[in-house]
Amino acid sequence: MKKRVIAASAQPLPPDAADHLDWLRVECGVADNTLAAYAADLALYVASLGGRSIRKARADDVVQFLVTEEARGMDAATRARRLVAVRGLHRWLAAEKRTPDDPAAEIDTPRLWQRLPTYLTPEEVDALMALESGETPASLLRQAVLEVLYGCGLRASECAGLRIDGVRFDEAVVRVTGKGGKTRIVPFGGRCRDAIQAWVERGRPRFVRGDGRDRGAMFLAPRGAPLRREHVWLIVKHRLRVAGIAKDASPHTLRHSFATHLLWGGADLRVVQMMLGHASLSTTQIYTRVEEGRLRQVHEKFHPRG
């Protein structure tokens, strides 16, 4: 039976939008979480048309939708994602000859650089990592998860989905399956290696139940099932609270910190792009704005004419 992707709302998406999401899932391998976000975005867009068919939408309708979203308080990044979803739909409808043209083709993307990513300072990262010193399986799990998030720049879902056969200690790399099922190789350092080894040797065996429910996952919950991204989120939030770090941070903050600190150390932007698994260099370039801000602060503090 054909699986349909629909918006998380009371009203199902029109057939054209649902067909487009099915195409993204089947033909493009777009991840379920991304599909759900696009479905929600398209549901809002469809509602903004006031009952008119998507096929009759014009450029003014798309612009008005974005204006309305801004008036509702949506930030530039959210509005940009909404536009990506709408653009993709109209581009597909035109390619499939369901509409004569693409009304969203010439609409500019809202500025994404108004809000820089939140990141932790190296000192805050050290404080976060130094908290765990126990030898219980739960302690070893928490330490390994945090070291992997920061040491490899993984998303929460990628960390939770890491497989034990995807870690190569002899080469100090992990094989990560990211968005769209794309695989990349990311190196890790000594502290991350030590934390993973401690978990694999002294923590993970005590969570394995022997019934196969672990499915080869690197990180397990106490009952033996693979760790979920919600668990990863809770681990990070708990450690941030205990460390007294008041920033509005999450697992993604450690990913931002990973990228930002690499650039501070002189890493090439394209290398950082590869390790983050970004399809486009423009996505990674947001971190250069963080670097520019830091350089400006140093100049103002230390330059005679700063």
Task: Pick left, alpha or beta for residue 122 (phi over 0 → left; psi -120 to 50 → alpha; otherwise beta).
Answer: alpha
Is 174 exposed, middle or buried, given 0-12, 13-18 or 19+ CB atoms closer than 10 A?
buried
231 as an active site residue: the answer is no
Among the options 81, 82, 155, 231, which is catalytic?
Answer: 155
Q: H-helix or E-strand containing 176? A: strand 173-177
303 as an active site residue: the answer is no
Among the options 25, 193, 252, 289, which is catalytic?
Answer: 252
278 as an active site residue: the answer is yes
56 as an active site residue: the answer is no
229 as an active site residue: the answer is no
Q: 163 pairs with which residues across the strands?
A: 217
What pairing do the DSSP bridges indicate for beta strands 183-187 and 173-177? antiparallel
Among the options 81, 255, 256, 261, which is catalytic?
Answer: 255
Among the options 87, 98, 179, 213, which is catalytic?
Answer: 179
Q: H-helix or E-strand containing 175? A: strand 173-177
- The DSSP annotation for 140-151 comes to HHHHHHHHHHHH
How many residues in total does the chain contain?
306
111 as an active site residue: the answer is no
- The residues assigned a catalytic role are 155, 179, 252, 255, 278, 287
